[in-house]
Each structure stands twice: as structure tokens, then as C-alpha cells.
């Protein structure tokens, strides 16, 4: 898997952009297949977990207008990136593995090599790059979907005023949180692309092997995401302790 990652980077920086059409297609496909599900889930989590449960606690202390300040922290630092990436791993990651695995068992990858076409450059690199570039956009859209969920719960269930909600929205957030979230989701996107592609290229055993590879791909991506997220958060808190004090 490490060798595939190194080879992918090498193909990315090598001259020529013969895979640019495939990159554009994969970028549009990745955003289309994940946007609706990720946005709906983020809205529901924002409405139920942060909005209702957090709003209940804030309302008990008479600080329902401050619940909005929790939303950016939750959906930029931890909850949003991990939730979005988990959805991408289960939808797009499994699709990449299944597609490459099906081509492997049909010997299409071998045929490409016979024709002098590098499968990594023309199939793997566009998917990894497209997924990496798509993740910040998806994360931003799901962030606003989560904030919308919190807004609906705070305003319509607990009587918070819209003006106070948006006034306190960035109370505990600063510019570092945004860049940290962007870097994190791009790292996660590259991880999913490389792991899913690796599992797809290593498929053996016919159609049953494709099913096993898809399952292994999703599980491996989720475990890797959670492990890297823990390490990333610890390093981020150590390097930028000022984020704990808000903007």
C-alpha cells in the first residue's frame, strides 16, 4: 500500500496530463455521489445531537443563544470531518474498489499494460487526486448543512432568536480551525483513494473476491481515519493551544 502511494505521487508530479479528462469526470462523480447523503446526515446530526441535546442543556442554563457557537467547533474540528469522511469511505471508497476490482478480474488492467498504458497513472491517480480535491468542498457544504440543523433546533424548538444565533456563531472559532479542517479532510481523502485503489488492484478470486475487497476497503479506511484523526487532533492541540480560547 505504501508503494502504491509513492507510485501515485510519482505519477502525479511526472510530466504530462493525459489523465486530466478522467480527473474531471471523477471529481464530478465523487461530488455527485456523496453530496446528498453527507448533507442530509450532517443536517440530522446537527439538528438532533448538537441542536436538541445541546440546546436542552443550554436552555436549562438560560444560554440557548450560545448554542450556535458550538456548531462550528463540532463541524470543523472533529464531528464534521470524521462524519463526512466516513460517508465518503462507505460510498465512494467502496465504488473505487469495486470498479478497479472488476477491471482486475476481467483482465482489463493487464490489457492496458499490454497497450503501454499505465493503470496507476490513468485510473488510480485521477481518482486519488479528485477525491483529495473534492473533500474540502464537500466538508464546507456539510458544515453549513450541520449549522442549518442546529439553527432549526435552536430557533424553532427552543425559541432562540436568529440574530443572536448568527452573532455568536463564530464565538469559539478562529481562522486556524478552518485551515485545520481543510488539511484534515484532504489527508483523509487521499487516504481513502489510496486504500480503496490498493484493495481494488489486489483483488483475487473472481466476483467473491471483489466483495471481500470492498468490505476490507471500507473497514480499513474507517480504522485508518479514526487512528489518524486522534493523532492529528493531539498534534493540532499541541501546536495551536490558542484554538481552545476561541477567536
For the stretch 69-83, pLDDT in tens is 888 888 887 888 888
Residue 3 above 60 pLDDT?
Answer: no
Lowest mean pLDDT among 66-70, 76-80, 239-243: 239-243
The predicted pLDDT at position 13 comes to 47
C-alpha 211, offset from chain centre = 23
pLDDT digits (tens, 9 = 90+) for 207-219: 888 989 999 999 9
In a domain, 119, yes or no: yes
Query: What's the mean pLDDT in 8-33?
Result: 71
Return the closest-CA partner of residue 148 out of 171, 165, 170, 168.
Answer: 165
DSSP string, 41-54: HHHHHIIIIIIIII
Query: In the prediction, which pLDDT does 174 show?
Result: 78
Q: How far apart are CA 88 and CA 185, in angstroms?
A: 11
Q: Which pTM does this prediction carry?
A: 0.84
pLDDT of residue 99: 92
Mean pLDDT for the stretch of residues 39-45: 91
Q: Which domain holds residue 55?
A: 24-238
Average pLDDT over residues 57-67: 79
Q: How confident is the model at residue 185 (pLDDT cuts 50, 70, 90)?
A: very high
Highest mean pLDDT: which of 55-59, 79-83, 116-120, 214-218?
Answer: 214-218
Q: SS3 helix, strand, coil % of the chain, rounded to 5?
A: 85, 0, 15
2 belongs to a structural domain: no
Q: Has residue 244 been placed in a domain?
A: no
> Is the four-CA dihedral 193, 199, 202, 207 of positive or negative sign?
negative
Residue with cell 464565538: 171
Q: Does 216 fall in a domain?
A: yes
CA-to-CA distance for 229 and 220, rounded, in angstroms? 14
Q: pLDDT-derived band of residue 10, with 50, 70 and 90 as boundaries?
A: low
Q: Does residue 160 lie in a domain region?
A: yes
The total number of structural domains that make up the chain: 1
Is residue 5 in some structural domain?
no
Q: Does the residue 247 lie in any domain?
A: no
d(CA 146, CA 140): 10
What per-residue confidence (pLDDT) applies to 114? 84
C-alpha cell at 85: 469522511
Q: Establish if 11 belongs to a structural domain.
A: no
What's the whole-number average pLDDT of the chain? 85
Round to whole Å and give the CA distance between 47 and 66.
Answer: 15
Neighbours of 204 (CB within 10 A): 12
Measured at the alpha carbon of residue 111, what is the angle toward residues 109 and 112, in degrees to the nearest 5? 65
Amino acid at each position: 500500500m505504501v508503494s502504491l502511494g509513492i507510485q501515485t505521487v510519482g505519477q502525479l508530479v511526472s510530466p504530462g496530463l493525459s489523465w486530466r479528462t478522467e480527473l474531471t469526470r471523477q471529481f464530478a462523480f465523487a461530488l455527485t455521489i456523496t453530496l446528498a447523503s453527507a448533507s442530509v446526515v450532517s443536517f440530522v446530526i446537527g439538528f438532533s445531537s448538537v441542536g436538541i441535546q445541546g440546546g436542552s442543556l443550554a436552555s436549562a442554563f438560560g444560554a440557548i443563544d450560545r448554542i450556535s457557537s458550538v456548531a462550528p467547533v463540532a463541524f470543523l474540528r472533529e464531528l464534521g470531518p470524521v462524519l463526512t469522511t466516513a460517508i465518503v469511505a462507505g460510498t465512494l471508497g467502496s465504488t473505487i474498489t469495486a470498479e478497479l476490482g472488476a477491471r482486475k478480474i476481467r483482465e482489463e488492467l493487464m490489457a492496458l499494460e499490454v497497450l503501454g498504458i499505465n493503470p496507476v497513472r490513468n485510473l488510480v491517480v485521477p481518482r486519488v487526486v479528485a477525491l483529495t480535491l473534492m473533500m474540502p468542498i464537500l466538508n464546507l457544504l456539510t458544515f453549513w448543512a450541520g449549522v442549518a440543523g442546529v439553527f432549526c433546533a435552536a430557533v424553532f424548538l427552543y425559541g432562540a432568536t436568529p440574530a443572536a444565533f448568527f452573532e455568536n456563531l463564530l464565538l469559539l472559532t478562529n481562522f486556524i480551525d478552518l485551515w485545520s479542517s481543510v488539511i484534515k479532510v484532504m489527508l483523509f481523502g487521499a487516504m481513502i483513494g489510496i486504500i480503496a485503489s490498493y484493495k481494488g488492484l489486489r483483488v483475487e478470486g473472481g466476483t467473491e473476491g471483489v466483495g471481500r475487497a470492498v468490505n476490507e476497503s471500507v473497514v480499513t479506511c474507517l480504522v485508518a481515519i479514526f487512528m489518524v484523526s486522534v493523532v492529528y487532533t493531539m498534534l493540532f492541540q499541541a501546536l495551536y493551544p490558542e484554538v481552545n480560547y476561541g477567536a
